[in-house]
A and B are shown apart, each in its own frame.
Chain A
Amino acid sequence: MMMVVLGTVLGIFVGALPGISGSTTIALMLPMTIAMGPIPAICFLGAIYCAANFGGSITAILVNAPGDPSASATALEGYKMAEKGQAGLALGMSAVSSAIGGIVSVIVLIFAAPMLARAAYSFGPPEYFALALFGLSMCAAIGGDSAAKNLIAAALGLLIATVGMDLTTGVERYAFGVMELSDGIGFVPVLIGLFAVGEMLDQAARRYGKAQIIFADAARVPGWAEMKKCMRSIWIGSGIGTFIGALPALGATTAALIGYNETRRWSKHKEEFGKGSIEGVAGPEAANNAAVGGSMVPTLALGIPGSATTAIILAGLIVQGIRPGPHLFTEQPTLLYAVFASMLAANIFYLVMGLSMARLFARISLIPPAFLWPAVFVLSVIGAYGPNQSLGDVYVMLAAGVVGFLFRRAGFSPAPLIMGLVLGGMVEETLKQSLIIFGDDAGSVLAGFLGRPIALVLFAVTAAGLLWPVAARLFRGRRAAQA
């Protein structure tokens, strides 16, 4: 239990720091777990994983600087709530919805892991391509002034993802002989630049004094009316997060962005989105924490990591002499109960800590801008440099900061660009793999995709999602003309 508490505190702290994500921390802590037994080790690492996703929402809400990539969707609405003086409420809802999402996914993990693992196993390159396309189509509605701007941002993210060595052919693209570009552009420096540095540059141009900072209300457990309003969003986010987390290679960031868009789609208060919607905090936060439990499904049931972080946890298990796989459920149930219990406990601990410490966190918004924003910049430089200890990443962060500033001024949302960057590699590789499977001519490709029902359903939902707003607008225009 002590390991769970320590892991939770550490997870919240590092989750809030831009650039030091849960996966980096777990990688740094892994050597220390060798001396522990397998159960304390997995409890410690699992707690960090659970808490870091929540920790990222703290700075996302307070200063529009997501501490973890999975909190980038939370920043869209959470920061707007903070600007309206509702930072405490946003933090409270973030804590509650994160805990609910995390607990739901652990319960699903306990009862449905083997079944979910079989479903995940049936996803091949065509299904992944269709899912990635679906995720990208969601970008049309994520923040920003218009769908065209969002899709341009997403396409720019896809383009940035092509920088570096093409895995299939070995050809270097857009590297121009620069060694740092040969490895591609990481999304952590881009994320930090777009959100944190872009916001800092914008704040420097505006330079509102302290009077502009609205007093944050105290953090509080959301009231019954607020919970009732957000429960649909929380369930949507929890379901999406658990499912997407169970699919290898997607992770909490994708889950959060899709969760945000689906929350918006099904909300009865769509007009609040973009102006500080509490549902826009609840949905993605439930999704990104539900993805934690979901990602443990293929990790434990198949030995295939569900995310980068679970890949490191998998390494930690192997170091402890445990080989995950289907046999784990029958041969080592004690270990599994420990994993489930530690994740459940971590969710409850960070809920309590988040609510009790959120008043303290919310006071960040009262720090004079002359101190706060330069500190954010310095922290961003360290955050961009830290993961790969590369100055090239700092240059990328600065360039992304300029782009982030220009995006703000032009009414573009930064989230679609991140989505494109995160999914870009997968879109291209799965498309290539699908074309290799089906053949090069259009007829065989079409026939191939028609034979994949899961992919077909996803394509249909994607098309409906993109065309429905256009059709609805045309229909309304025709009705107005007739009237």
Chain B
Amino acid sequence: MLFRTVFGVLATLALFASFLVTAPARAADCGRVTLADMNWSSATFIANVDRFILEHGYGCDAELVVGDTMPTGTSMIEKGEPDIASELWTHGFTEALERGVSEGRLKIVSASLSDGGEEGFWVPKFLVDKHPELATISGIRKHAALFKNPEDPTTSLFMGCPAGWGCQINAGNLYKALNLKDAGFVLGDPGSGAGLAGSLAKAYERGEPWFGYYWAPTPLLGKYEMVKVDFESGVDEAHFVECIAVADCENPKPTMYPPAPVHTVVTADLSERALAVVAYLSRRSFTNSFMNGFLAWVDDNQADGEVAMAHFMKTHEPLWREWVSAEAAGRIKAALAKM
């Protein structure tokens, strides 16, 4: 009986194994490369493009690993893994990153988003159409009562950044600097990126007032028309770096967000062993206007990173051709034809 069971299991396994197709051999000059696949649309899209180009253009054995800004950044500094972070928002941990670069463990090879990320406090456009003064922070303070806090109707709600994110620090400091507390606002914690996005989407869909932190390029800001509130202060980049981005800064003063640096970061090990790959990465970059438009397509089609990548590679050949060598471009084209 036992023998028959074992035999049956083995026969089944053999049947399954006969369907396995051995993977085609890869060119050996690049080796195994891991890329961080972050959980938001633009990052997972760029990571998928990088993976495809590395695999088919440069013969790498490229593999996506799940990542997120802080864990991936820390792991790259401490453990040298993964090899590539395709879209890393670095201002949350400038210090650790600089240490990693100066100790020769990391290399910043390019700006993934050439304009940088756009952060700010936003309100829905339909609200500004009704009350034009809401486009400025003094108007927000004046009409604080519009943004009623459901858990305590005597106060107003400013939706801050999720606990632990880099922006929790700067949004908290700006909340102080802009005297939002005196205007009756409490600083809300949405708990997670999904919570923040959900609260914005719910308010917009319902036509309700919403005032909070968000950033672009994101599918959400591609989809919902939001207005970035003017702090009437201009950008004071030095003060932002010295104070607003620092936890427990004593005396924060208002400043708009400077463009957030968004880098492609690789480990030192990879930058030494795969020069062609680094050359590609240093040329690969997107503008915000392209990315916002592209992400709107992604959202309309509920595309995951891989589908978005395939669509991009097929429809934007002139763009990616500029990034790769002529031979690599030929190999990529051949791989695309087979898709």
A and B are partners in one complex rather than unrelated chains: no
